[in-house]
Structure 1
Amino acid sequence: MNELPTRASARAQEKSAGPSIARHGRLKRHHPVQFLLKLIAAIVGVALVSGVSVAAYAVWNVASEVKSTVKLVDAKGNPIPQVGAISGGFNVLLAGSDSGGGNKAYGSRGEVLNDVTMLLHVSADHKNATVVSFPRDMFVSIPSCPTEDGKGSFDAMSRQKINTTLSYGGLACTVLTVEQLTGLTIPYAGVIEFDGVIEMSNAVGGVPVCVAGNITDPYTGLDVKAGQNTLEGSQALAFLRTRHGVGDGSDLGRISNQQVFLSSLVRTIKSADTLSNPVKVYGIARAAVKNIKLSESLSNMTTIASMAAALKNIDLNKVVFVQYPNHYTSDGGVEPTEDAADTLMTALKSDKSITLTGDTGVGSEAAAGGTSTTAPSTEAPATQAPATQTPPSSTPSNSATSTPAPSTGADSSVDLPSDVHGQTAGQVTCSKPFSE
């Protein structure tokens, strides 16, 4: 039940059952949750700020361009409310594919890898949202996955990197793998490719990001200067994909860099300038559904609008981006840090808010002036200088190996160990250039 032999047998089984899954290849990641949150805020924005006829046309037009859907094993079948927020909590997985969607500009690849895998968890009371990033090189066990045509199945594997799941068994396999890893049920999912990142960053009018020093990355074409930069199009994609240009040059540093972008994206989406502009919100929604391959459970526009209603009033400081707890291994990857991961997942299953006690990670640092305010329209001043040090978000209260007991009370928060990295959407942070 290990590695290549089982993979070969699964491919043989798939071949006998029907057409094989297309395999492309490699590159980097960095796209997702921005899109889920964009898509969600966009459609609810259309309904809130447009006239009824405009909103109706927008939703109809967007719905007509939804890409083909993917059936998930644990998809919910219950109807979504026609009006108002979705009932209870929910989990949505977004995978960023490196295939390029056939666009020759991104080169030719031999496999389709989910170089971005992110999970959005929204609590049942709609007061907290947590976005968990799973390192692409993290070794996990992969369960038996159905083939995409539903006529066969792939063998389980005991230890493979998580970014191989998309090529191995499609989006449903990525979802099953993350469900097994986290213990959470994930009824909704989607896949986005490179062109989607470009179109969506254009639709929102660019995302302002802070950079602590000049970053030039010949691998992705990124070229940004120290200070505030408004990124859209190919530069937004390059910023999300860059690994060699930021932090310590690792994939973990790149996750922190993504969190700088995503937190700013959330602030941008929730700003009055975006939500009061029907052209922007409609453009975001249209770009999202044109470029995201959705699960069947997420292809209904009413479902997405209901999720949006649940998300739109969450305080920025209660939107937390966190890297799945991990540590380096000797064979070119990382593995889950079980105690810390158990703390995180127990908190999410109990719908507790989480508090980060460590720094913002190896790819970013807190901007001068600390965190932003909770007002949706607040953004870091364009002239704000980046800090030279990385202050912790709070005083560490736990060791790296401790497992804090969740405190009681409806609004209680669980402290994560200090070696678990991340930030809130309310924190204004700056990306650090690569340093050896």
Structure 2
Amino acid sequence: MPATRPERPFARHGRLARRRGWTTLVSVVASALAVVLVSGTSVAAIAGAQLAAAPHTVQLSKDDQATAKTADITAIKGGANILLIGSDTRVGQFDSDEDVQGARNDVTILIHVSQDHQQLTAVSFPRDLMVPIPACTNPQTGTAYPASSSAQFNTALGNGGVSCVVDTVENLTGLSVPYAGLITFDGVIEMSNALGGVDVCVAKPIDDDFTGLHLAAGSHNLAGSDALAFLRTRHGVGDGSDLARISSQQVFLSALLRKVTSGDTLSNPVTLYKLAGAALSNMTLSDGLAQTRTLVGLASALRGMSTSNMLFVQYPVVDDPADQARVIVAQDAAHALNVALQTDEKTTLSDSKTGRASEEAAGTGGTTGTSDGSAAPGTPSAASSAPATAAPATPATALPSTITGQSAAEQTCSVGN
């Protein structure tokens, strides 16, 4: 196993006493992406049945609603943007005996699907990030919140619901985000069980009494409550921060997508139906996303995409000089990422730099892909069904070296503390 990187001082974001946020969005995201990687016909049948039983919808701003209602998601100029929000609410959830008031966007991931359907970029925003939040009105209470020049990112949902989180991300990135989904955590156990578990690598033992997760170094098949605990843990990985948890979650996401695209999942309608049901029954979708044609279009856009071109990145941040338990935007690196997404540019991580709680798996070089971003010969991938006459891959531009993350093709291990 590669040597551990030299230690360096950093703030332990999230060490302050706070509500224990359950972060199952990433599993739902991965499972939802797995569902839409199948044929359009399968998705049409599954989505039609599930949406009939998933009536919860939410409206976004007028401009975003208009775009979503009229646009073909497969042909949106500059690519399609979908915001997935994980709420830490306990209301109606299986642990609702815990006294936690309100809801926050505990996990927020922006999915950008390129216009040529050759790359997916999933950007995770730290919940402790201090950002401008626009004026918002809470849709449940009617309470109006004035605009703030600097507020903690995960307060946007409580201020104004899904629309407020979307507006905050649009303001931060300069992107238009016409689709969004709010996701609770009840479905994670069902989905991980439907897949038969996910094989996750642990480089250094994880011991977290907060979640009850105790894993020795090595490979573990995680399902049910164990998978849930792995996604929740931050005290048990890296430096115990939310930033460490993001990179550990990317280990799980990548392993899950590799399993889905290389195994029998995509050809098993029973498994797909279970995954779709577990995801959609625990989601509140924006009006534009809650349409069968949109999900089928998304399936069409992603079909044939290599896991090497599914990129997970953390939005670039630095320590907040005013509060060492918070972070602020790393302006130069964030600008580069924002521009790349705005111009729909194919990108790659400059040096396959993983985050605070992950490292390359020993003996793999960290990836199952080739240097040009395509799948390596013999590597199972969703791209295996792509026509042999496909055009040569577009060269990718390296993002700033300070941006961390990985592709779904990279084999990485979570690092305990």
Range into which the TM-score falls when normalised by the shorter chain: 0.7 to 0.9
Q: What is the alpha-carbon distance in structure 2 between the residues aligned to residue 357 and residue 85 of structure 1?
A: 28
- Is 1:313 matched with 2:307? no
Which of 259, 284, 287 is the equivalent residue of 1:293? Answer: 284
Matches within 5 A, 1:138-287: 138-148=129-139, 153-287=144-278
Corresponding position of 1:348: 341
Question: Contact 2:318 / 2:330 at 8 angstroms: preserved in 1?
Answer: yes
Q: Which amino acid aligns with 2:309?
A: K
Question: Contact 1:86 / 1:309 at 8 angstroms: preserved in 2?
Answer: no
Corresponding position of 1:35: 28
Which of 401, 404, 413 is the equivalent residue of 1:421? Answer: 404
Aligned length: 374
Question: Contact 1:41 / 1:269 at 8 angstroms: preserved in 2?
Answer: yes
Matches within 5 A, 1:75-86: 75=65, 76-79=67-70, 85=74
Alignment RMSD (CA, Å)? 2.5
Distance 1:214 1:410, change over 3 A: closer
228-237 vs 35-44, which moves further: 35-44
Q: What is the alpha-carbon distance in structure 2 between the residues aligned to residue 306 and residue 86 of structure 1?
A: 9
- 1:213 CA drift (Å): 2.5
Q: Which amino acid aligns with 2:80?
A: F
Q: Which amino acid aligns with 2:329?
A: P
Q: Which amino acid aligns with 1:377?
A: P
Corresponding position of 1:367: 361
Q: Which amino acid aligns with 1:422?
A: G
Distance 1:80 1:303, change over 3 A: farther
SS state at 2:231 partner: helix
- Once the two structures are superposed, residues 366-417 of structure 1 have per-residue CA deviations (whole angstroms, 9 ceiling, x without a partner) of 0012112426637xxxxxxxxxxxxxxxxxxxxxxxxxxxxxx992422222
Q: Which amino acid aligns with 2:355?
A: G
SS state at 1:45 partner: coil
Q: What is the alpha-carbon distance in structure 1 between the residues aligned to residue 100 and residue 268 of structure 2?
A: 39
- Once the two structures are superposed, residues 212-234 of structure 1 have per-residue CA deviations (whole angstroms, 9 ceiling, x without a partner) of 12212110121222211111211
- Once the two structures are superposed, residues 4-40 of structure 1 have per-residue CA deviations (whole angstroms, 9 ceiling, x without a partner) of xxxxxxxxxxxxxxxxxxxxx9322433354234224
Q: What is the alpha-carbon distance in structure 1 between the residues aligned to residue 219 and residue 193 of structure 2?
A: 17
Corresponding position of 2:54: 66
Question: Contact 1:26 / 1:112 at 8 angstroms: preserved in 2?
Answer: no
Q: Which amino acid aligns with 2:339?
A: T
- Is 1:329 matched with 2:320? yes
Where does the alignment leave 5 or more consecutive residues of structure 2 unmatched? 1-17, 370-374, 382-391
Q: Which amino acid aligns with 1:281?
A: L
Q: What is the alpha-carbon distance in structure 2 between the residues aligned to residue 110 and residue 151 of structure 1?
A: 17
- Is 1:377 matched with 2:354? no
Q: Which amino acid aligns with 1:365?
A: E
Corresponding position of 2:389: none
198-207 vs 257-266, which moves further: 198-207
Normalised TM-score (structure 2): 0.83
Q: What is the alpha-carbon distance in structure 1 between the residues aligned to residue 310 and residue 202 of structure 2?
A: 22
Q: What is the alpha-carbon distance in structure 1 between the residues aligned to residue 151 and residue 20 of structure 2?
A: 18
Distance 1:343 1:43, change over 3 A: closer
Corresponding position of 2:85: 95
- 1:112 CA drift (Å): 0.7
Q: What is the alpha-carbon distance in structure 2 between the residues aligned to residue 128 and residue 222 of structure 1?
A: 34
Distance 1:158 1:427, change over 3 A: same
Question: Contact 2:30 / 2:253 at 8 angstroms: preserved in 1?
Answer: no
Normalised TM-score (structure 1): 0.80
- Once the two structures are superposed, residues 147-188 of structure 1 have per-residue CA deviations (whole angstroms, 9 ceiling, x without a partner) of 326977431111111011111111110110000000001001
Q: What is the alpha-carbon distance in structure 1 between the residues aligned to residue 37 and residue 406 of structure 2?
A: 25
Q: What is the alpha-carbon distance in structure 2 between the residues aligned to residue 270 and residue 131 of structure 1?
A: 17
Q: What is the alpha-carbon distance in structure 2 between the residues aligned to residue 269 and residue 86 of structure 1?
A: 26
Q: What is the alpha-carbon distance in structure 2 between the residues aligned to residue 60 and residue 123 of structure 1?
A: 25
Q: What is the alpha-carbon distance in structure 1 between the residues aligned to residue 403 and residue 36 of structure 2?
A: 33
Q: What is the alpha-carbon distance in structure 1 between the residues aligned to residue 187 and residue 75 of structure 2?
A: 26
Which of 107, 118, 121 is the equivalent residue of 1:130? Answer: 121
- Once the two structures are superposed, residues 118-164 of structure 1 have per-residue CA deviations (whole angstroms, 9 ceiling, x without a partner) of 10001111111100000000000101124326977431111111011
Question: Contact 1:212 / 1:430 at 8 angstroms: preserved in 2?
Answer: yes
Q: Which amino acid aligns with 1:176?
A: D
Q: What is the alpha-carbon distance in structure 2 between the residues aligned to residue 153 and residue 335 of structure 1?
A: 25
Identical counterparts, % of pairs: 45
Distance 1:329 1:87, change over 3 A: closer
- 1:235 CA drift (Å): 1.1
Distance 1:170 1:78, change over 3 A: closer
- Once the two structures are superposed, residues 79-123 of structure 1 have per-residue CA deviations (whole angstroms, 9 ceiling, x without a partner) of 466xx9555510011111111342352522122111101100011
- 1:65 CA drift (Å): 1.6
Where does the alignment leave 5 or more consecutive residues of structure 1 unmatched? 1-24, 379-408
Q: What is the alpha-carbon distance in structure 1 between the residues aligned to residue 236 and residue 358 of structure 2?
A: 12
Q: What is the alpha-carbon distance in structure 2 between the residues aligned to residue 215 and residue 33 of structure 1?
A: 19
Q: What is the alpha-carbon distance in structure 2 between the residues aligned to residue 250 and residue 417 of structure 1?
A: 22
